Amino acid sequence: MPLRFNRILLKVGGESLLGDREYGISHESAKAVALQIKEVHDMGVQVAVVIGGGNIFRGISAEKSGFDRATADYMGMLATVMNGLALMDALERVGVPVRLQSALEMPAVAEPFVRRRAIRHMEKGRVIILAAGTGVPFVTTDTGSSLHALELHCDVVIKATKVDGVFERDPMQDPSARRYKTVNLHDMLSNQNISVMDSGALAMCMENNMPVMVFELFKEGNLKKAVSGEDIGTYASADVKTELA
């Protein structure tokens, strides 16, 4: 069976590692994410993971409590390195070869991000985890995801969320909100009711013809279905019509 996507950029938000905790990293959740990745890795899909840090520290929230924004953002980037280490450990424990690269140099715990080396790792069948986002403040790991997906020639950005795709309105607030099957990225950017990804990150995908898929990562087998071409979640790109499911 040919795959729909051969090389994916999977954005895993820090909240995916929370489990039932309010803060920090749940070992069980890291393992659950690792098992989803293993399933597609075993099918021969090349996987780059951009890991977030929201379960530990977010620059923008820290700024509201009085921190200097840039300093707080660097702290947030450090949080993503901790999550990256946890996910690396979880992947190794389920037998997946993996390398952690960081956009902030930290040679004792991670390789520096080197684009060509990251591509080589994937070609050799290693999952790469990309920590510290872009390495600069005032953006988030969503921007890191778009940027890395483009420079690593990925076929798609997969944004794992808590709900099964992009909805008309926040389905957590309004359960009657309907899911989109496809969304044009222009519509997604201009619609104030949709806030799945940072606008800068979305604009980068739109301008460079990078599709974005949005679905619930913890639904058993969802990642496998997405790379096999099954119709799940929401597919967003610059060249599709916006249609409800």
Exposure of 201 in the CB half-sphere (CA atoms within 13 A): 23
- Strand pairing report for 243-244 and 180-184: antiparallel
Under the binding rule (CB under 6 A), the answer on residue 134 touching ligand UDP is yes
The smaller minimum CB distance to ligand UDP, of residues 60 and 244, is found at: 60
The region of 33-41, 129-137, 161-169, 224-232 touching ligand UDP under the rule CB under 6 A is 129-137
Token pair for 47:
């996987």
CA 245 to chain CA centroid, Å, is: 23
Cβ atoms of 148 and 80 within 8 Å: the answer is no
The smaller minimum CB distance to ligand UDP, of residues 67 and 240, is found at: 67
Q: Which of residues 140-159 bind ligand UDP (CB under 6 A)?
A: 140-144
Q: Which of residues 185-224 bind ligand UDP (CB under 6 A)?
A: none
The smaller minimum CB distance to ligand UDP, of residues 53 and 233, is found at: 53
Under the binding rule (CB under 6 A), the answer on residue 84 touching ligand UDP is no
Residue 189's alpha-carbon distances to 71, 105, 152, 168, 205, in angstroms, are 29, 33, 24, 13, 11
**Number of residue whose CB is nearest ligand UDP:** 52
List 7, 39, 41, 53, residue binding ligand UDP (CB under 6 A): 53
Under the binding rule (CB under 6 A), the answer on residue 133 touching ligand UDP is yes
Tell me which residue has tokens 């916006």.
242
Token pair for 130:
């990309």
The region of 33-41, 47-55, 179-187, 188-196 touching ligand UDP under the rule CB under 6 A is 47-55
List 40, 47, 48, 77, residue binding ligand UDP (CB under 6 A): 77
* CB burial of residue 194 (10 Å; 0-12, 13-18, 19+): buried
Q: Which of residues 6-45 bind ligand UDP (CB under 6 A)?
A: 13-15
Write down the least CB distance from residue 10 to ligand UDP, Å: 12
Write down the least CB distance from residue 42 to ligand UDP, Å: 26
Q: State the residues that interact with ligand UDP by CB under 6 A.
A: 13-15, 52-54, 58-60, 73, 76-77, 79-80, 133-134, 136-137, 139-144
